[in-house]
A = this chain, B = another copy of it.
Amino acid sequence: MTEHRVVFTPSGKRGGFAEGTSLLEAARRLGVDLDSVCGGRGICGRCQVDVAEGAFAKHAVDSRADHASPWSAVEQRYVEKRGSFPSGRRLGCQARICGDLVVDVPPESQVHRQVVRKRAEEHAIEIDPVVRLHMVVVREPDMSDPSSDFRRLQEALAEQWGVADATADLAVLKTLQTTLRAGGWTVTAAVRDGWEIVALFPGFAIDAYGFAVDVGSTTIAAYLCDLASGAVLASVGAMNPQIRFGEDLMSRVSYAMMNPGGKAELTRAVRDAIDALIGEATHQAGVARNQIVEVTLVGNPVMHHLALGLDPTELGSAPFALAIDGACEVKARDLGLDVAPGAVVYALPCIAGHVGADATGVVLAEAPYLGDALRLIADVGTNAEIVFGNRERLLAASSPTGPAFEGAQISCGQRAAPGAIERVRIDRETLEPRFKVIGCDLWSGDPGFADATVGLGVTGVCGSGIIEAIAELFLAGVVTEDGVIDGALAQHTSRVEPVGRAFAYVLNEGPPRLLIHQTDVRAIQLAKAALYAGAKLLIERRGAAPERITLAGAFGAQIDPVYAMALGMIPDCDLEKVASAGNAAGTGARIALLNRAARAEIERVARTIEKVETAIEPSFQSLFVAAMAIPNKTDAFPNLARRIDLPAPKAAPNEGGRRRRRSASIAPA
């Protein structure tokens, strides 16, 4: 038989093949990474290749057209249906070898392609989801050979895809017979981990999706992802409905302990919310719920346990024993999620009683364990999960910041949403504010601001807005380094007014009238002190300063590092090296969705992270108290000082007179 030589690029794999072998078959035999869902039937178009050269035999002069089979009717039909091909492009399953060939597999035809991430320091994600689609043609039943529909499906998967001994649970089996018949004995199976069928679709199906969920104490964020491309098709969020049972985690644990059926209520609330987000995301993206074939979950330990239906009671008091810390796989339907019948929820591992799957999500997303740089990563939510270290050693702690950074427990606070004030500037002389709201690029006071915000309104102040407001009030001398709103200023400006025994600052005359109260400053002080003290604890334990700081969380993504440092939320660091990572926990959940190796990686890394328990560290309380001041009494902040002329020390009360620090200003970055 005539044999021809074929080289695949970019892998460089090469071999000899009999005349008439398809390029897909040749790629498979060589182990070349060439995708296919339909199994070589010219339907899915995933095996597109570029026949780059006609020949590489020494004396060959033939055109490539002679060395590959002619353009086929199947390819013509595919192109007419899906759009045109670049010149030289072929369907790998249709083009057959007729002579020596060089075949290039473009990135989009590789199974394990990489997803480009936004920030330079992020490591790329290789797409290799745990669930893959395989189309099969199943033998019809025959009374003279009475094997079951499932056995014939198993045989088809083994013969056509090399998937041996596939299993399916009852929920999938229930759909088997109708799906086989609806598809005319052709079905597409979503196969998990190479052996378990989690969904069946009649005929040919090319789209499978995953859903990554980050369950925070205050908010739930989730992402609908295309498992083939890694693209986020919908990004959705909601308040955690458990808030009605208690704002912070411990009050929810108390609720669960004190109320009969309380655990079940809390679990139902969070599961219903996740399921509602699935509904919202699939609706937005126009996909069916049963096309979601895998779910990943991150969350702090209490949320992790409640979402899984585990009792959080032990997490309410020392020694804060988790029920389980390893990664969990449970059926989505057992969590009441309406997705593909056999879909699995993969919950990332937890580290300890206060450092959960949200922290491991952040670690997976930011991968501090891969580099030499000493990184401080804080995921700021209702609790702050703080990770510090590098490839040699990683430490983690959790600090109870409370929900203030998320706009809760702040009199004018709200979740980051259109209409919320997110940026604040206060004139050092006049003490008049300017601000920006989410959804509008203009500053208040700019011409056209009122018109531009007609539809939005100004609805409240979100976390980053509160931070900037209080930092600016401090820089403008309205708030002292002890965090007191200076009532003496009420003589000079109507922006400062008495409220009860204390004073407040009028950020917006309204409507709505938005005031920064003394209690709001206290809430932010407590929150930032907790965050700072937690970070400091890890830094002291490690005995080295952070080389890079990353603020994660929906809130962390918005905050200006200068203000965070001015307020004393974070330790001193080169401001160029302070960055925000957005919802890194959610990103970790997405990575676990798209790459199976990432799961093994975070499971391994999680076991190596050293937990520092703030609750029993003797130094935490003193660090916390010291961190209450603005910025902080514990650090020199040389990096911050280069950008901000910090106010002069507070005048002694008996000096009287004006105490505004006019010198305070922010230098250009």
Contacts and interface: CB of A to CB of B under 8 A. Distances in A.
Contact of A310 (B173, B311, B613): B173
Nearest to A143: B319
Interface in A309-341: 309-311, 313-314, 318-326, 328, 330, 334
Contacts of A178: 311
Interface in A21-77: none
Interface string A341-353: 0000000001111
Given A309-B174, A330-B169, A151 B320 contact: no
Per assembly, the copies of the chain total 2
Interface string A183-226: 00000000000000000000000000000000000000000000
A142 B151 CA distance: 50
A178 B323 CA distance: 10
Contacts of A1: none
Given A170-B308, A170-B310, A149 B323 contact: yes
Interface residues of A, number: 43
A148 B311 contact: no
Interface in A138-153: 141-144, 146-151
A146 B320 contact: yes
Given A143-B613, A143-B616, A330-B169, A321 B174 contact: no
A130 interface: no
Contact of A148 (B148, B324, B613, B616): B324
Given A146-B611, A352-B146, A141 B321 contact: yes
A176 interface: yes
A318 B143 contact: yes
A162 to B, nearest CB: 20
Contacts of A322: 146, 148-150
Contact of A176 (B149, B173, B323, B616): B323
A156 B328 CA distance: 20
A494 interface: no
A404 to B, nearest CB: 27
Looking at A141, A169, A177, A320, the one whose CB has the most chain B CB atoms below 10 A away is: A177
B146 A613 contact: yes
A311 B177 contact: yes
Nearest to A613: B143
B320 A143 contact: yes
A319 B142 contact: yes
Given A177-B323, A319-B142, A334 B170 contact: yes
Looking at A169, A173, A176, A320, the one whose CB has the most chain B CB atoms below 10 A away is: A173
Interface in A431-454: none
A151 B349 CA distance: 12
B146 A324 contact: no
B141 A319 contact: yes
A173 B323 contact: yes
A148 B321 CA distance: 6
Given A151-B325, A330-B169, A146 B351 contact: yes
B321 A149 contact: yes
A170 B325 contact: no
Contacts of A352: 146
A321 B350 CA distance: 46
A394 to B, nearest CB: 14
Contacts of A350: 148
A157 to B, nearest CB: 14
Interface in A513-528: none
Given A309-B170, A322-B148, A177 B314 contact: yes
A44 B353 CA distance: 35
Interface string A578-611: 0000000000000000000000000000000001
14 contacts: A142-B319, A143-B319, A143-B613, A146-B320, A148-B321, A148-B326, A150-B323, A150-B324, A150-B326, A151-B325, A173-B308, A173-B323, A174-B311, A178-B311
Nearest 8 CB-CB pairs, A to B?
A146-B352, A148-B325, A141-B321, A148-B322, A150-B324, A143-B319, A141-B319, A146-B611
Given A143-B616, A174-B310, A177-B313, 14 more contacts: A141-B319, A141-B321, A144-B613, A148-B350, A149-B314, A149-B321, A150-B322, A150-B324, A170-B308, A170-B310, A173-B324, A174-B323, A176-B323, A176-B324
